Amino acid sequence: DTAVSQTPKYLVTQMGNDKSIKCEQNLGHDTMYWYKQDSKKFLKIMFSYNNKELIINETVPNRFSPKSPDKAHLNLHINSLELGDSAVYFCASSRQESYEQYFGPGTRLTVT
Amino acid sequence: AQKITQTQPGMFVQEKEAVTLDCTYDTSDPSYGLFWYKQPSSGEMIFLIYQGSYDQQNATEGRYSLNFQKARKSANLVISASQLGDSAMYFCAMRELNYGGATNKLIFGTGTLLAVQP
């Protein structure tokens, strides 16, 4: 049973394209997150949603737009992709006020 | 601002020996949480251990223990009896609460790449 799943696992696309990454959790958590891991393995939070409401937006360009249709899903849409967007994107979830975050397997995005 | 520092970019350890991965943190919040995650070459992030700032005892989970020294602001991970499968990147992270605890985010260190040698 997959707790936090992401699709696709790999995404290769050209500059200027628009793409989406999907995330689903079956843990019944009410908080979901997107993190970005760059080529130097540094992890940084991008967004956090609680009960479908945006809570954290860490100075991410407007080209990135998260969407949470329900508590179990948090999708990430990226417009006008740039070379610098190449990274591994991790989705995570947690219970409200809980300390542990469960991570998805990551999506490796490569922009050419 | 909260900050996590991992000063060891890479470490080697012989199989079956113990190894300590260093982590220091900086925060002005009296309530915080510290984590260690493991990232093997396959890429997933695996939660290992958690220490709360008010916990009286050091956290332990199987072969993992967290050496929490609050006055020194350090939260080192100790892996006992290293196994080949322990070879991975290890991240120390701190939980920062937001909006009265309605949500939180993790602030990560730069990681330590551990190689276990047979």
Selected for mutation to probe chain A from B42, B104, B113 (highest A CB count within 10 Å) is B104
- Chain B neighbors of A108, CB-CB under 8 A: 43
The tens digit of pLDDT for each residue in B69-79 reads 999 999 999 99
For residue A61, which phi and psi values (nearest 5 degrees)? -55, 150
Of A43, A100, A106, the CB nearest to B91: A43
Distance from B41 to chain A by nearest Cα, in Å?
Answer: 12
- Whole-number pLDDT of residue B14: 97
* pLDDT of amino acid B98: 63
- Residue-level pLDDT at B99: 57
- Distance separating the N- and C-terminal Cα atoms of chain A: 34
- State which residues of chain B have pLDDT below 70: 97-103
Q: What's the CA angle centered on B1, arms B53 and A51, to 5 degrees?
A: 75
* Closest Cα in chain B, distance from residue A72 (Å): 16
Interatomic CA distance for residues A75 and A90, integer angstroms = 11
Q: Which residues of A touch B (CB under 8 A)?
A: 31, 33, 35, 40-45, 48, 50, 55-56, 58, 88, 90, 92, 94, 96-97, 99-103, 105-106, 108
Calculate how close chain A gets to B43, using CA atoms only, in Å.
Answer: 7
Task: Give the alpha-carbon dihedral of B91, A100, B40, B74, to 10 degrees.
Answer: 20
Chain B residues with beta carbon closer than 8 angstroms to that of A105:
43-44
Taking the Cβ of residue B100 and every Cβ of chain A, the question of whether any pair is shorter than 8 Å is answered with: no
Q: What is the pLDDT along chain A (112 residues), one digit of tens a residue?
A: 669 999 999 999 999 999 999 999 999 998 899 999 999 999 999 988 888 888 777 878 999 999 999 989 999 999 999 999 999 999 999 886 667 889 999 999 999 9
